[in-house]
Amino acid sequence: MTRDSDFSDFVAARRTHLRRVAYACCGDWHRAEDLVQTALVKLYVAWPRLHRDGREEAYVRQIIVRADIDERRRPWRRELPSPHATDGSLDAAAPAALDLGERSALFEALQELPGQQRKVVVLRHWLGLSVAETAAELGIGEGTVKSHSSRGLAALQRTLTPPD
């Protein structure tokens, strides 16, 4: 197979999953699509080296997380969008493992977490990365991953557990 066909096969197989990862990190389907596109452009450049080593998936995840961090640092991202700014048409495109109400509640609860906690929870508990892998992808210490994970899960539990 050629470089382009190998890359196209990878994108066809993993794009939906990568888009969900990006959405979990940023909380907006449109931004998630932009993050995935940025990640795939960078992956294409590094494809021969990464494909040979089998590190494509980790590389793309790392780019998604870092690109989201870079975007959030930009001054115009500090403005809050209107809740009526999007029509939500892309929201329905993601297949659900949970029913719609549970999925919506989970994503809303994830968006209430601080950015770093959200990224740690997504990488550790949704994607199943180890503490060391999560620390490496986010460029933080393993102890920081553990504390963010603990605090994030506790906050999610408080938010998602119905009162007695």
> CA-CA distances (angstroms) from residue 57 to 75, 110, 158?
30, 23, 32
Angle, CA of 89, 30 and 47, to the nearest 5°: 125
Q: Rg for the chain (alpha carbons), in Å?
A: 17
Q: In this structure, are residues 110 and 156 in contact, taking their beta carbons and an 8 Å threshold?
A: yes
pLDDT cut 70: percent of the chain above it: 82
As a whole number, the mean pLDDT across the chain is: 81
Distance CA 64, CA 36 (A): 6
pLDDT cut 90: percent of the chain above it: 35
Distance CA 43, CA 115 (A): 24
- Residue 98 is predicted with a pLDDT of 56
- What distance lies between CA 91 and its chain's CA centroid? 15
- The full set of domains in the chain, from first to last, is 1-95 (no CATH), 97-164 (1.10.10.10)
Query: Which of 29-38, 53-62, 67-76, 90-99 tops mean pLDDT?
Result: 29-38
pLDDT greater at residue 1 or residue 111: 111
Q: What global pTM score does this model have? A: 0.56
Is the C-alpha dihedral spanning 88, 85, 155, 121 positive or negative? positive
Residue pLDDT, tens place only, 69-111: 887 777 655 555 544 444 444 333 334 455 667 777 888 888 8
Task: Indicate if the pLDDT at residue 144 is higher than 90.
Answer: yes
